[in-house]
Every structure is written in C-alpha cells, then in structure tokens.
Amino acid sequence: MFSRTRNKEIFMSKPLIFSLTAWLVLAACEPVPAEPPATVFTETTKVETVVEQHNSQNSLDWAGTYRGVLPCADCEGIDTLLTLNMDNSYLLSITYLGKETDTIQQQGSFEWDNTGSVVQLLHLKDGAALYKVGENQLFQLDIAGEIITGDLSDNYKLIKQNQPPQARLTGVRWTLSELMGQKVLTTEPDSTPYLEFSIDNRVDGFTGCNHFTGAYEAEGLRLRFKPLATTAKACLHTSVEEQFLSTIHGIDNYTLNDSGLAFYKARTAALARFTSKQLQP
C-alpha cells in the first residue's frame, strides 16, 4: 500500500518538475537587455580662421613715382616728386616755387602703419612725412596722421606718374657692383659684367666673359628678362657669369635712385646692384 501511494506521488510530481525546468530554460533564453551606449565626451576645439585684410600695402600697385604741387604758406607752392620703391626706400625732391632756392633731394626708408594704409618717410629733414596711400595717388596727412580738411584739401595729394620705365633705364651702362650681397671684384680690365637697356625693350650685356642679348618687360617698377642668347666663349672663371645670369633671370622688380639700380625678387634683399655710366651718343 505504501509503495503504490509513493509511486503515485512521484508520478504526479513529474509534471511539476518538467514545468519548472521548462520555465528555467525559457528564462535563460530570453535576450539580455542591451546596455545603453556609453556617452563619449569629446573636446571641441574652436578653430579661428585668420583672414588677411585687404589694404593699400597688399592690394594696390603702390610702388612708383608721384608728383603734385602742395600748398605753401609763404610761396607759390611746393613742387613735390616722391618715389616709393618695393624695398621700402624712398626718394623725395621738393622745390619751393617762387623762391630762389635749390631743389631739395632726400632719400631714406619708409614704413607702413599697422593698418597697411599709411606710409611714414623716416629721417626726413624737410617736407611732409605722412601719406595715405590710395589708388594711383597719395594724400598728405597732418602731423597727427589725419586727413587735411579745408578749402585747399583737394590740393594735398600727389598723383602717380605714368612715365615709361624704359626711359629711366636707357642711355646708361649699368655696371655690376654687388651680386648676392657680395662686392664684385675684377682682376682683369674690362671684365666687369654690365647691362644696357634700349627703349624698344631690348637688352644687351656682358657677363665678364661672354656677351648676351635678349628682351625685357617693364611696367612700373616690375621688371622681367626673357630668355637671353649668350656667346659661347670658353672662360677660366665661370662662377660670376653663371651666378649673374641665374640672378637676372629670377628677378621681378627693381629700384632706381641716387645710389644706382638694384634688382629684387619679391621683397627680398637686393640680389644685384649696379652703378651707372653715361653712354656716349
């Protein structure tokens, strides 16, 4: 009796065991809830773009010669001729009209103000020192750097001259005196390199050994040499010749003042300097 009852209890408990086992299996198979994605914090760097402001210094073709008659308190006017060069040098000539005085010539360097719109002539002994640079004209400023006002305000300006640059380069033999910052010394007579410009945009020259000829382009203070034809004489010392030809092929602007002629590439230091000798007609 006991055995039959015991077997019945075991038989009746099996469905319960199976149900519990099935529930555990199903619970184990349920997908685990996905964890929320981790929040990634990144440091944001603010990038500031510096845009170069356009001004007279970097936007205008300001290099050249300017002229005008400025008002004068005790004379008929001040005839003013001012040349600004790419290397920040200047040449100033002033004549007091109606007075028996000689023309005053001064040269030196100038600097731009922080806005790139005003130039100041440095170490000036006579004449106006501050000018606002405009399109093909200079406006004289007062000693405080302000625009001059009044009835004669329109007369305080210099106008850029359109003199053909060839006229200033021709009629002269330009003898090389300095190359890449070094003085040019020659050990033989008539062996110094030189250049001669003609009004029809032709150039002839001598390298110290060989002669050459070719063409050039000039506009304002811009200057560029086209390919040159050179003689083929054998030379004992070719270093100056090679450097001279390489230098003049690479220049793109020049200055011309009482010190002579100088060649530049952009705004670098002078690559070559020349002194002048008037050609015989």
pLDDT per position as a tens digit, 196-234: 999 889 999 999 989 999 999 988 778 999 999 999 988
Please say whether the dihedral angle defined by the alpha carbons of residues 179, 183, 187 and 192, taken in this order, is positive or negative.
positive
Fold of 165-278: Lipocalin (2.40.128)
In terms of Cβ atoms closer than 10 Å to its own Cβ (0-12, 13-18, 19+), residue 166 is middle
Pick the range with the lowest mean pLDDT from 140-149, 168-177, 250-259.
250-259
Q: What is the pLDDT of residue 94?
A: 92
Which pLDDT band holds residue 166 (cuts at 50, 70, 90)?
low
* pLDDT digit string, tens, across residues 28-40: 555 555 555 554 4
Cα(253)–Cα(84) distance, integer angstroms: 13
Query: Which residues contact residue 120 at a Cβ distance below 8 angstroms, ignoring those fewer than 6 apart?
Result: 110, 111, 113, 129, 130
Considering only residues 168 and 229, tell me which one the structure prediction assigns the higher pLDDT.
229
In the chain, domain spans: 56-160, 165-278
Cα(124)–Cα(145) distance, integer angstroms: 16
Fold of 56-160: Lipocalin (2.40.128)
Q: What is the pLDDT of residue 178?
A: 94
| DSSP 8-state symbol, 86 | T
Across the range 146-156, mean pLDDT stands at 89
* pLDDT digit string, tens, across residues 120-135: 999 888 878 999 999 8
What token pair was written down for 40?
Answer: 């990634």
Across the range 15-30, mean pLDDT stands at 50
Residue 102 in this model has a pLDDT that exceeds 70: yes
Q: Are strands 77-84 and 89-97 parallel, antiparallel or unpaired?
A: antiparallel
Could you tell me which of 107, 9, 63, 32 has the C-alpha nearest to residue 254?
Answer: 63
Tokens 């020659």: give the residue.
186
Which pLDDT band holds residue 87 (cuts at 50, 70, 90)?
confident
